[in-house]
């Protein structure tokens, strides 16, 4: 059973998924993709991708392969079908967004070549070690990469809110297999803040369950969730640019900062208090600044937990204010201008009018613990007299929005992390962590050192950070340098090259089939 199937089974046990394409026999597959997107109910969509598998068998199909050959053959077949069916699920979602939210006529990608490549691959997959298998796999990868690039170009027209609204309002709801397909697409897309925001939302929705009162809960405990994220990344062939060995101090500080945000919103007494401290903008900005470190499994798990706490606490605070006064007064006070701000921070569409209609039970036991006492809403003409002592006390306690004890803890973590790093580098020697590390390499290309630094190799990709001088090159000069680096990477048996700016964002990519500069 593949990693993809393992997680699907666990989500089935949570009653989140009725049927997926991998449960179906080939004869049932034509309508499976569209049904899998919406959790079992078929929708209008192009013909299925797997009907080609039912074509007459090849000439050597009468030969019964050995059991081990059947197992290996099945592995390659399922992996290929999962990738292509995943792209088609993303295609259906994008068509729905274009039709329903952009009010445009969808123009689906012509996937005929991908279907043919998949069909050919399925025919020759009886012998994974053969030359025909390698050629068919290369052709299939080329077609799926072309398809992914076309989807990425269309995705640039979508805002995070478009994706969120479509998924939230889809009826029937999107299945877990469709969310996994979207997660894979965004995780492996060139980094941008919009891509990160969409990935944040999709993964939070995948790993959480919503109750009738608008609050959400995680489906798995913290360690299980990290394990599932790691398994998904392995199944998606996603490359980690950050490792616990390389950046343990920075990762630890990121986790602490998310806990600080959680503590801050849990201690808030009113929604107005959060607006006054600019909580939601600060959280959004911090996620942006984390850049590609956001994808580290432990960081992603912490961010998803923060999303749920933010959304749940917002629902509770609005319920408390509504109970203290009235829904009309709360709506008059806040209106809808903060809906977008809160929705982005919580990874969920939260409209104030909808939240006011929810039946939320906020127990009396929670109020003292969370400091949820609600001050009376004074009339507009009468403003409460400021309390200087309380203001000064609050400023001392919450300087720049950070609890002083947590700030002291951050300093201790930095010092401890620095000490561990120095000890490991100078005295321990070697890397016995068991974590796959990106190995440093010197790019043997003329002038490479002038424009690039900190080059590293993984199993398939060469990464390098661009120098400020790289930005002075013309577009043609950048592509020429990129082509030379790709040629060098090929000599090292690398599949692709990715150039990153100082913020860790991909600004150039090269492989055997394409050469691309990512717009900034």
Q: Please tell me the distance from the alpha carbon of residue 195 to that of residue 192, in angstroms, as a whole number.
A: 5
Strand pairing partners for 136? none
The two tokens of residue 168 are 């939230």
CA separation, residue 91 to residues 162, 193, 200 (Å): 15, 21, 20
- Phi and psi at residue 499, to the nearest 5°: -105, 130
Q: Please tell me the distance from the alpha carbon of residue 300 to that of residue 123, in angstroms, as a whole number.
A: 39
Place of tokens 């919406």: 38
What is 261-277 written as a DSSP string?
Answer: HHHHHHH-S-HHHHHHT
Q: Please tell me the distance from the alpha carbon of residue 287 to that of residue 278, in angstroms, as a whole number.
A: 15
Domain segments of the chain: what residues? Answer: 3-206, 233-371+399-409, 439-517
What is 180-206 written as a DSSP string?
Answer: HHHHHHHHTSPP-HHHHHHHHHHHHHH
The reply to whether the predicted model has a pTM over 0.95 is no
Q: Please tell me the distance from the alpha carbon of residue 216 to that of residue 219, in angstroms, as a whole number.
A: 9
CATH code, 439-517: 3.40.1350
CA separation, residue 410 to residues 229, 245, 259, 402, 403 (Å): 26, 19, 11, 11, 11
SS3 of 499, please? strand
CA separation, residue 71 to residues 226, 232, 449 (Å): 28, 21, 47
CA-based angle 486:489:493, to the nearest 5?
A: 130
Alpha helices in 237-296 (DSSP H): 248-267, 271-276, 279-290
Q: What is the largest CA-CA distance in the chain?
A: 89
Q: Please tell me the distance from the alpha carbon of residue 154 to that of residue 159, in angstroms, as a whole number.
A: 11
pLDDT digits (tens, 9 = 90+) for 307-317: 999 999 999 99
Place of tokens 């019964």: 64
Strand 216-218 and strand 461-466: the pairing is unpaired
Is the sign of the CA dihedral 22, 25, 26, 30 positive or negative? Answer: negative
Alpha helices in 108-192 (DSSP H): 112-124, 131-155, 160-169, 176-187
The closest of 506, 462, 500, 475 to 193, measured between CA atoms, is 506
Strand 439-440 and strand 216-218: the pairing is unpaired
445: Cα within 13 Å, side-chain hemisphere: 23
Q: Count Cβ neighbours within 10 Å for each residue of 60-85 and write b for 16 or more, e otherwise.
A: eeeeeeeeeeeebbeebbebbbbbbb
Say how many C-beta atoms besides its own lie within 10 A of residue 386's C-beta. 7
Q: Please tell me the distance from the alpha carbon of residue 440 to that of residue 430, in angstroms, as a whole number.
A: 14
Quote the strand ranges of 458-505, DSSP E: 461-466, 496-500
Tell me, what's the pLDDT at 415? 62
CB 444 within 8 A of CB 488: yes
- One digit per residue, the tens of pLDDT, for the chain of length 520 reads 444 455 555 554 543 443 433 343 333 443 444 445 555 443 333 333 333 233 233 334 334 444 555 566 677 788 888 889 999 999 999 999 999 888 888 888 998 999 998 888 888 866 777 888 888 889 998 999 999 999 999 999 999 999 999 998 888 888 899 999 999 999 999 889 999 999 999 999 999 998 888 899 999 998 999 999 999 998 887 776 665 555 677 888 889 999 999 999 999 999 999 999 999 999 999 999 888 889 999 999 999 999 999 999 999 999 999 998 889 999 999 988 899 999 999 988 899 999 998 888 876 434 434 443 333 333 333 334 344 434 344 434 444 444 555 666 666 656 655 554 444 444 344 443 333 345 788 888 888 888 888 887 766 778 888 888 888 889 888 888 888 988 888 888 888 888 877 666 678 888 877 788 877 6
Tell me, what's the pLDDT at 367? 42
């Amino acid at each position: 059973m593949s990693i993809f199937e393992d997680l699907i089974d666990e989500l089935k046990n949570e009653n989140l998924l009725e049927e997926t394409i991998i449960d179906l026999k080939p004869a049932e597959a034509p309508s499976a993709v569209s049904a899998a997107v919406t959790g079992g109910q078929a929708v209008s969509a192009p013909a299925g991708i797997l009907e080609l598998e039912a074509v007459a068998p090849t000439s050597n199909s009468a030969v019964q392969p050995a059991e081990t050959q059947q197992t290996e053959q099945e592995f390659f077949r399922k992996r290929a079908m999962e990738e292509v069916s995943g792209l088609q699920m993303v295609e259906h979602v994008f068509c729905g967004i274009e039709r329903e939210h952009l009010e445009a006529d969808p123009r689906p990608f012509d996937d005929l070549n991908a279907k043919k490549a998949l069909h050919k691959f399925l025919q020759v997959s009886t012998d994974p070690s053969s030359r025909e298998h390698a050629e068919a796999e290369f052709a299939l990868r080329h077609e799926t990469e072309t398809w992914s690039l076309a989807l990425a170009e269309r995705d640039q027209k979508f805002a995070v809110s478009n994706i969120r609204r479509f998924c939230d309002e889809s009826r029937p709801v999107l299945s877990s297999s469709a969310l996994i397909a979207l997660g894979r697409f965004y995780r492996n897309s060139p980094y941008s803040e919009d891509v990160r925001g969409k990935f944040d939302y999709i993964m939070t929705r995948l790993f959480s369950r919503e109750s009738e009162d608008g609050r959400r809960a995680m489906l798995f405990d913290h360690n299980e969730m990290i394990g599932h994220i790691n398994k998904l990344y392995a199944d998606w062939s996603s490359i980690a640019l950050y490792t616990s060995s390389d950046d343990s101090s920075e990762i630890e500080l990121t986790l602490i900062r998310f806990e600080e945000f959680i503590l801050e919103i849990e201690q808030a007494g009113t929604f107005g208090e959060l607006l006054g401290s600019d909580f939601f903008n600060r959280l959004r900005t911090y996620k942006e600044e984390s850049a590609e470190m956001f994808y580290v499994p432990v960081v992603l798990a912490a961010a998803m937990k923060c999303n749920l706490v933010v959304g749940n606490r917002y629902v509770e605070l609005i319920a408390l204010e509504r109970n203290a006064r009235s829904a009309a007064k709360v709506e008059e006070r806040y209106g809808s201008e903060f809906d977008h701000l809160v929705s982005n921070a919580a990874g969920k569409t939260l409209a104030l009018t909808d939240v006011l209609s929810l039946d939320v039970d906020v127990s009396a036991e929670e109020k003292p613990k969370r400091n949820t006492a609600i001050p009376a809403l004074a009339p507009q003409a009468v403003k409460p007299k400021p309390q200087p002592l309380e203001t000064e006390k609050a400023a001392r306690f919450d300087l720049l929005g950070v609890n002083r004890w947590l700030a002291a803890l951050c300093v201790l973590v930095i010092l401890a992390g620095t000490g561990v790093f120095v000890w490991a580098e100078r005295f321990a020697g070697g890397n016995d962590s068991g974590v796959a590390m990106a190995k440093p390499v010197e790019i043997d290309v003329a002038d490479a050192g002038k424009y690039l630094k900190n080059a590293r190799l993984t199993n398939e990709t060469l990464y390098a950070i661009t120098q400020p001088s790289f930005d002075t090159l013309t577009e043609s000069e950048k592509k020429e340098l990129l082509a030379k680096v790709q040629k060098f990477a090929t000599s090292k048996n690398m599949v692709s090259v990715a150039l990153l700016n100082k913020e860790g964002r991909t600004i150039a990519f090269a492989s055997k089939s394409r050469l691309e500069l990512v717009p900034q």
